[in-house]
Structure 1
Amino acid sequence: MRTWRRRRHTVRVRLTVLYGGMFLLSAAGLLVITNAIGLSGTRTSESAPAAVPPAGPAMPAATAHRIAALQAQLSDAQAAQSRQLLIASAVALAVMGLVAIVQGRVVAGRVLRPLRTITAATRRITADNLNERLAVPGPDDEVKDLADTIDGLLERLEDSFSAQRRFVADASHELRTPLATMRASLDVALAKPGPVPAQTSALAGRLRTELDQIDRLLEGLLSLARAQHASPAGRAPLALGDLAAEALDARAAAIAAKGLTVDSAGLTGGGAWTRGDGTLLARMVGNVIDNAVVHNDGGGWIRLAATSDGATAELVVETGGRVLDQEQVDRLAMPFQRLAADRTGSADGSGLGLSIVAAVATAHGGALRLRARPEGGLTVAIALPTAGAGVPA
C-alpha cells in the first residue's frame, strides 16, 4: 500500500513540476521580451542629449544647461522605472510561479483521479468477487480504454476460475468413484469361499495401502484447492489454542506410539483468537500437528504455544531433531516438497500438508513461517489477524 501511494504521489509531483515549469518558462520568456523592449526605449531616450544644440547667441548657456539637467533627470527616472519594472516582474514571476504550482497540483489531481478510482476498484476485486467490473463512465478516451481492458481481463479470469472450480468438483467425484470400485473389487475377491492364496492376500494388502495413499493425496489436493479459493463469508471467531488442543487429543494414540513428549503449557486458556472458516482452520492446525508427529524422531518432543499481541494471533509448534538446512526448509510450503529420503518415503504423508497450511493461512490474511532451529529441529509459526473486539480474552 505504501509503495502504491508513493508512486501515485510521485506521478502527481511530476505532473505538477511539468505544468509549473512550462508556465514559468513561458512567463519568463514573456517578461524577458517586455523588459528588452523597455530597455531599448530607455537607451533611445538616453541618446537624446547628444542632439542638444550647443549654446550660442540663439540659446543662452543657462537654457542649454537647464535642458541638459532635465534630460539627465529624465534618464535617471527612466532607469529607476526600468529597475522597478524588473523588480515588479521578478515578484510577479515568483507569485505566478506559486500559483502555477498550486494550479498544477490541482490539475494533476484531477487528471489522476480516474486512475485512482480504477486502482481502488481493482484492489477491491479478489478471487471471490471476480464478477464485479469497473464500468468507468466518461468519454471514449485512454482512461476508459484502460478500464475496459481491465474489465476484459477480469472476465477472462472469472471464466478461468469458474472452470477450475468445476474441474475440482468433477475431479472429486470422478476420481473417488473408481477408487471405491477398486477397493470393493478387492474385498469381493478376498471374500470368496475357499482358501485365498498367500500371494493374493499380500497383493491385496499392498493395493489397499496404495489406494489409501491415493485417497490421502486426492483429499490433500482437494483441500489445497478449497483453501486457495476460500470464501470470507461465514467466518466465525475461533481460538487457535483450542484447535491445537483438540488436534493433540485426536492424535494421542500416534503420539504415544512414538513416545513423544508434548509441552502444551502455552495453550492454556485457549488464547490467540482469530476469525475464519472452522473446517479449514481445523485442517490447518491438524496438518501442523501431523507434521510434528509424523516427521519426528522416536522419543522426541513437541512444544506448542498460542499467543496474541492484539493485532496478530500466532500458533507456534516446535519439534526437536537433526539440524536442517534453512534453504530446504523454505521450500517445504510448496506442494510435494520434502526434506530428505526419509520424509519422501513416508507412507503417512503426501507432501501437501504444509502447502495446505500456507494456503489456508494466506486465505485468512495470515502467513506461514518455517525456521530451522540452530540446535536442531523445526519451528512452524502461523500468524493470523485477530478476531477483533467482542471475543473472549
Structure 2
Amino acid sequence: MTATTAPAGHRPRRLTARMRLTLSYALFAVAAGLIFVVVVYLGLRWIPNYPLMPSNPRDRLDAPSRGEVLDALLVTCGYALAVLTVVGLGGGWIIAGRVLRPLQEITRAAHHAANGALEHRVALAGPRDEFTDLSDAFDEMLERLQRSFDAQQRFAANASHELRTPLAITRTMLQVAAADPGGQDLPRLVGRLQDTNQRGIEICEALLQLAELGHTAPALQPLDLADAVRDAVAAVSEEATARGVTVTAEYGPAPASGNPVLLRQAAVNLLHNAIRHNLPADGTVTVRTGPDPDRPGRVLLAIANTGPRLTPEAVATFTEPFLRGRGRTAETDPSRRGHGLGLAIVAAVTEAHQGRLRLTPLPDGGLRVELGLPER
C-alpha cells in the first residue's frame, strides 16, 4: 500500500506554532511553580505538630498550628499558580511571537518565490544564529534558482532562435524555388539545402549532448589526457593548415580518470575555437598537457592562441550557450561558422569530470584556456 500525502491546502488544521510554544511556556512555568509548591508543602510536613506555649503562662498566644499553616499555604499557592498561568500565557505569547518572527519573514519570501518573484531576499539582520543561518541558506538557494531560471530562459530563447534560423532559410529557398521552378539551379539549391539541414542536425546533436551531460554521469576509466589531446590535434590539423595556423604541441604525461570520447570532443572544441578565432595570417596555437604546476594532484590541458584582444568581461560569457566569438552574430564565412555551443559543451564535460575550466585573455591578444582534472 502506498502512502499518500495530502496537498498543503487540504491539510488538517491544528494549533499554530506560536500557540503551541505559548502553551509550552505556560505549562513549563505552571509545572515549575507546582513543583516548588509541592517541595515547600512536603517540607512543612516535617514541622512538629505540637501546640506552642508562651514563655509566660499568664500570656495568651494565638499561634497557628501546622495544619492551619498548610491550609493557608495551599490557598495562597493556588492563587499564585493562577497568576503564574496568566503571566505564562501572556509572556509566552509575546516571546513566541518574537522568536518566530524570522520564520515569518522566510515564509513570506517563500511565498514570493512560489509566485515567481525569485529576486526577493530575506536578508535577516543581527548576529549569527540558527535563524540567520537558515535565512542565508534560503537566500543563497533563491539566488542560485534565479541564476538557473534566467539561464534556462536565455537557453530556451537562444535554442529556439538557432533552430528556427535553418528552418526559415529552408522555407525561403523552397518558396523561391516554387515561385520560379524553371529558373533554379537545382544542384546549387540542393547543396544549400543540404548545408542548412546539416547545420540544424549539428545544433540538435549538440543540444542532446548538453542535455545528456547535465543529467547522466559519464562512464569513467583510467586514461592519459595526453592521448585524447593528441587525437584531437590530429583531427584539426588539416583545418589549421588551411587557415595558416601553426599548432605546437607538448604532450606531457597526464594520468586521469575520465571518458576518452568526451575528453577528446572537449579538446577538439577548444582547438576549433583556437584555430577559427585566430589572426588572419601567421596565427599560432600552443598545446600542453602535464601536471598542473599551480595545483598539485591535478593534471592540466593548456591551449593558448594568438588573436584579437579580449576583455575579461567578454571572456566570462564565452561558456554561455549560443555565444559565438562575435557575440550572437554568426560568421559570414561558412567554414568559420559554428553553432555557439562548443565552449558550453566543454564546460559541461569539465563539470561532469569534476574538473576546472579557466579562460584567461592574453595581454597581446588571444586566449588561454586551462582544463584541469583530478590526477589518477
Q: TM range, normalised to the smaller chain? A: 0.3 to 0.5
Larger proportion of helix: 1
TM-score, length of structure 1 as denominator length? 0.46
